[in-house]
Amino acid sequence: MFSRSTILTLAVAWVTAILFLTVGHEYVTHPPNAAVAVGCFVLILGAIMVAAFGVVRHAEHLAERLGEPFGTLILTLTVVVIEVVLIASIMLGPGGSATIGRDSLFAVMMIVVNGVLGLTILLGALKFGPQRYNMEGASIYIAMIAALSLVTLVLPSFLSSTSDGSLIPLQAIGIAVLSAALYIFFLFMQTGTDRALYLQPRPASSPAESGPAPTPSHEKVAARELVLRSALLVVTVLPIILLAHDLGILVGRGIALTGAPVALGGVIIAIIVFTPEAITAVRAALANENQRALNLGLGAFVSTVGLTIPAILVIGLLTGQPVILGESPGNMVLICITLVMTVITYFAPRTTAVHGAVHLMLFGVYGVLLFAP
């Protein structure tokens, strides 16, 4: 458990966090030149990525012990915590971005639903042929994604209360409470009576495998390992939280100085947060675990829109920071195309390589529109 890679991950993450909590913070807020600012950004980003991969590694071990969908839930919920911290660091930083929540959510949708899932479907189908999955569970994911993404990213642009895609306090409170309540109910059902809907369907001729019953000594060892893995997960997440503020400062300053698209901040957050999870999903697809890849991809976005947006709205209400959620017309069209394509993909009995290629094409369109809206 305390392998060399685990010790190295903790050392890199915590040494970097302590460095920038002490002497390094001054170089972030008042860098003497551009080279120092870039160096600080690379160092912080590297430490956060190392820690993020460590988080995924511990979550995967927990997933093996707990089984689906609990293992995937641990990973996605941990990712949401990291994402909220990174968004809040930019949202409340010196630049005070009002659109960072919207930009991050849209980036997650395009990167995860089109990019990551498109790649997993393509690679899995090319290696194993058309792949099966649990259609009922996929339909629940799609229902959640359609309702929450349209309410949070599209609806605000058509409200008469405001003209900039923001929400008045009553609307913000209502959407935050209703979105969080729906997600909590979804979790309750997913881990309860609906749990079988998120498991890989077995062929009728293949009975479920049953291993020997665990002995009391094995149960004690397993419980101790769960506690230690959970503790390691928390200890690995903490440096990311501690470094998030300085990263937010550097991202905001870099976008302002280079004239890059403001939405690039959301893309950076999405890449930081979901790269380890994306690698896990690709590995699952290459291991013929299509359902696990689906749970990781669709589950990650459902967690993001179901928990991250309510958290951002609450932060905005408590701090007085404006939060703009309504998307541009072009992005709203891309959201609708993505939803339609996702329905077509996961309402087919099996996913094929062509389904994956179409999603990847949509991801490419997103990349083009990011720099040429």
Mean pLDDT (whole number) for 140-148: 93
From the list 201, 227, 192, the residue with the least C-alpha distance to 132 is 201
pLDDT tops 50 at residue 364? yes
pLDDT score of 59 = 74
Q: When comparing pLDDT for 90 and 158, which is higher?
A: 158
Residue 47 lies in a domain: yes
Residue 128 lies in a domain: yes
Give me the CATH number covering residue 313: 1.20.1420.30
What confidence category does residue 209 fall into, taking pLDDT thresholds of 50, 70 and 90? very low
117-131, 181-195, 346-360: least confident range: 181-195
Mean pLDDT (whole number) for 212-237: 68
Based on the structure, what is the number of domains in the chain?
1
Residue 206 lies in a domain: no
Residue 212, number of CB atoms within 10 A of its CB: 6
Residue 88, number of CB atoms within 10 A of its CB: 22
Instruction: Give residue 193's domain range.
Output: 4-201+234-371
Q: Where are the beta strands (DSSP E) in 197-325?
A: none
Burial of 137 (0-12, 13-18, 19+ CB in 10 A): buried
Residue 215 lies in a domain: no
CA distance 287 to 284: 5
Average pLDDT, the chain: 85
pLDDT tops 60 at residue 165? yes
Residue 222 lies in a domain: no
pLDDT score of 2 = 63
Residue 324 lies in a domain: yes
Mean pLDDT (whole number) for 260-267: 84
Residue 213 lies in a domain: no
- The fraction of the chain above a pLDDT of 70, given in percent, is 91
Residue 169 lies in a domain: yes
pLDDT tops 80 at residue 327? yes
